[in-house]
Amino acid sequence: MKRVSDLLILTGGSFFQVIIALITTRVITSLLSPDQMGRFSILYTIAALFTAIFVTGFCRYTERKLLEWNLGGTIRHYFRRFFYYLFLSGIVASSLALFLKYIIEINISSLRLIVLMFSLVFVTNLNASFISWLNIFKKRLWFVITSNLTLLLGLLISIFLVLLFSKTAEYWIAGQILGQILLIAIGGFLFFKIIKTSQRRINTSIDYESSISTIFHFVWPVSLASLVLWLQTQSYRFILEGLSGLEVLGFFTVGFSLGSRLVERFEVLFRNFYNPIFYEKIAKANFQKKAEAWDRYSQSFFPAVILVGLFVSLGGPFIAKIFVAEKFREIAGNVIFWGALTSLVFAFISTYTMVGVAQLQMKGLILPITLGTIVALGGIFILSRWNPYIGTGLSLLSGALATLVYLMVKMHKLLPVRFPKKKVGLSIIYSLPVVVLLLILRVVIHRVTLWQSVAILAISGLYLLLAQLIMARDWLFKEMKHPFIEKLDKKLRFFRKT
């Protein structure tokens, strides 16, 4: 029954996160102008650059080794290393941002830029790490509470600062950071309480297994791959701003981010539930067991995310009608399509990345992401001049597809994993009714109303939920022994047969 309660907690938490995120999109597009949204995008893109270079690899390694360090009694030692490194990364990032300010001519004071960049690198990643570690230790309820509080406090404080001082990107970002600072105290307290309790049950000597050379061997390919991935997925904002201006960038990023964020929220829900299971299965596992663990992972995830990705991509105009301010609505409704499909492909890429994580060999990521970056940026330089919205979206999707195909070839050589063709094909078949319905309604309804959008998304969403349950019965319900679960399982078996 633990798996049932975990899923219910995570699903409920993810539902509220989606609601808060959608409310945030509606509020920020109502308060900030298109050019300020472009400015907001640029500042976060710079922070993402430094996070990719300095932080992502170490966060990934820490997450991979956390349970093993805890079993070995070395977790506090490695946390101190992690904390000092993150703090130093924030200092270096803020210094480099000041240098970058004069190259790309960011219109912001030096002091504000230093404070924002240090906070976005140090504060944001420390808070995110504490929260994700709660989930690694399967403290699902506290994980959900802290995740939602981060979003909610950030939203409330951002609204307060923007309305009190100025409707600019800096004050909105400052509100997000202040909310995260409050949550660091809570998340840190819970994390140290958990490891203190678990250490009482562990009686082993300290083992400094993760030497500097071991960490570096894992981290440098991840950092390089993350940098190239940043070039592929975020540097386009500088190109688009240079070719079309901040306002066009603001319009595009609202729609693209909304589409990608909705798919990512489902991906995050699944990974929060399944990643701790996956890490347990690969901890100290042999070659074949790691491949089997990944096969179960992909068979569970790929069919589910396909359903969500197609639903969001084709429901763009109806989603935008509800969750985007009127001045952004028309363009966002069309750009959501590109954001959702690109995020769907990256969900596949992230899953194949787990092969490298299992083997602690991440160099195989570099060339596939490099290929995707060349395809994406080359396409944007050419196609965005023709149409900044379609051209940019198509280029980003093409780059993601190029990365996926090459990465699949590399990862299948690293471990004998199997792509779940049958499950993926079945998922596409299940999605056809929603695909056909949404395509017809997009053609038939020229000016959709608010309540029409609500009804269309509700009907499509209910079908999506049923399809998800049918697809999930093989991995989610088979080990559960509960009268309600057994009855639900029988009904789902009936639907699959019909």
For every residue of 452-492, DSSP letters joined together read HHHHHHHHHHHHHHHHHHHHHIIIIITT---HHHHHHHHHH
Instruction: Tell me which of 7-16, 119-128, 160-169, 233-242 is least confident.
Output: 7-16
Cβ count near 243 (within 10 Å): 16
Task: Choose between 478 and 173: higher pLDDT.
Answer: 173
The answer, yes or no, to whether residue 292 has pLDDT greater than 80, is no
Do residues 293 and 281 make contact, with C-beta atoms less than 8 angstroms apart?
yes
Q: So what's the pLDDT on residue 223?
A: 76
Cβ count near 363 (within 10 Å): 16
Cβ count near 383 (within 10 Å): 17
User: Using CA atoms, how far apart are residues 91 and 335, in angstroms rounded to an integer?
Assistant: 36
> Helix (H, G, I), strand (E, B), or coil: what is residue 331?
helix
Q: What is the mean predicted confidence (pLDDT) over 180-195? A: 87
Per the listing, tokens 């195989």 go with 364
Q: So what's the pLDDT on residue 482?
A: 47
Instruction: Fill in the amino acid letter for 267.
Output: E
User: Using CA atoms, how far apart are residues 224 and 369, in angstroms rounded to an integer?
Assistant: 10
Q: So what's the pLDDT on residue 163?
A: 93
Q: What is the mean predicted confidence (pLDDT) over 277-284? A: 70
User: Using CA atoms, how far apart are residues 476 and 42, in angstroms rounded to an integer?
Assistant: 41
The answer, yes or no, to whether residue 469 has pLDDT greater than 80, is no
Q: What is the mean predicted confidence (pLDDT) over 391-404? A: 92
The answer, yes or no, to whether residue 42 has pLDDT greater than 70, is yes
Q: What is the mean predicted confidence (pLDDT) over 468-472? A: 74
Provide the percentage of residues in the chain whose pLDDT is more than 90. 14
Give 157-187 pLDDT, tens digit per residue: 999 999 999 888 899 999 999 999 999 988 8
Task: Give Cβ neighbours of residue 172 (< 8 Å, ≥ 6 apart).
Answer: 28, 31, 32, 40, 158, 161, 162
Instruction: Tell me which of 14-28, 191-205, 480-494 is least confident.
Output: 480-494
Question: Which band of pLDDT confidence, cut at 50, 70 and 90, is reported for residue 397?
Answer: very high
Q: What is the mean predicted confidence (pLDDT) over 144-152? A: 89
Q: What is the mean predicted confidence (pLDDT) over 419-423? A: 85
Task: Choose between 31 and 74: higher pLDDT.
Answer: 31
User: Using CA atoms, how far apart are residues 373 and 399, in angstroms rounded to an integer?
Assistant: 6
Instruction: Tell me which of 220-229, 452-461, 486-495 is least confident.
Output: 486-495
Angle between helices 34-50 and 2-31 (to 10 degrees): 130
One-character DSSP codes across 246-264 = HHHHHHHHHHHHHHHHHHH
Instruction: Fill in the amino acid letter for 352.
Output: Y
First-residue to last-residue Cα distance in the chain: 29
Task: Give Cβ neighbours of residue 166 (< 8 Å, ≥ 6 apart).
Answer: none
CA dihedral 213, 214, 215, 220 (to 10 degrees): 70
Q: So what's the pLDDT on residue 210?
A: 54
Rounded to the nearest 5 percent, the helix, strand and coil shares of the chain are: 90, 0, 10
- Degrees, nearest 5: CA angle 127-132-133: 100
Per the listing, tokens 């066009």 go with 248
Kindly list the domain boundaries of the chain, sorted by start residue.
1-199, 211-498
Tokens of 270: 């699944």
Instruction: Look at residues 278, 264, 271 and name the one whose alpha carbon lies nearest to residue 309.
Output: 264
Question: Which band of pLDDT confidence, cut at 50, 70 and 90, is reported for residue 489?
Answer: low
Instruction: Tell me which of 109-118, 136-145, 382-391 is least confident.
Output: 136-145
Own/partner contacts of 433-441, CB < 8 Å, gap of 24 or more, are 433/463, 434/307, 434/310, 434/311, 434/314, 434/460, 434/463, 434/464, 435/310, 435/314, 438/311, 438/314, 438/315, 438/318, 439/314, 441/318
Distance of CA 497 to CAs 163, 470, 490, 491, 494, Å? Answer: 56, 10, 11, 10, 5
User: Using CA atoms, how far apart are residues 418 and 151, in angstroms rounded to an integer?
Assistant: 37
The whole-chain average pLDDT of the chain stands at: 81
User: Using CA atoms, how far apart are residues 123 and 338, in angstroms rounded to an integer?
Assistant: 31
Q: What is the mean predicted confidence (pLDDT) over 419-429? A: 86
User: Using CA atoms, how far apart are residues 342 and 231, in angstroms rounded to an integer?
Assistant: 15
User: Using CA atoms, how far apart are residues 133 and 126, in angstroms rounded to an integer?
Assistant: 11
Tokens of 48: 């993402």
The answer, yes or no, to whether residue 205 has pLDDT greater than 60, is no
User: Using CA atoms, how far apart are residues 55 and 71, in angstroms rounded to an integer?
Assistant: 24
Tokens of 153: 């406090």
Q: What is the mean predicted confidence (pLDDT) over 188-213? A: 63
Tokens of 115: 């404070």
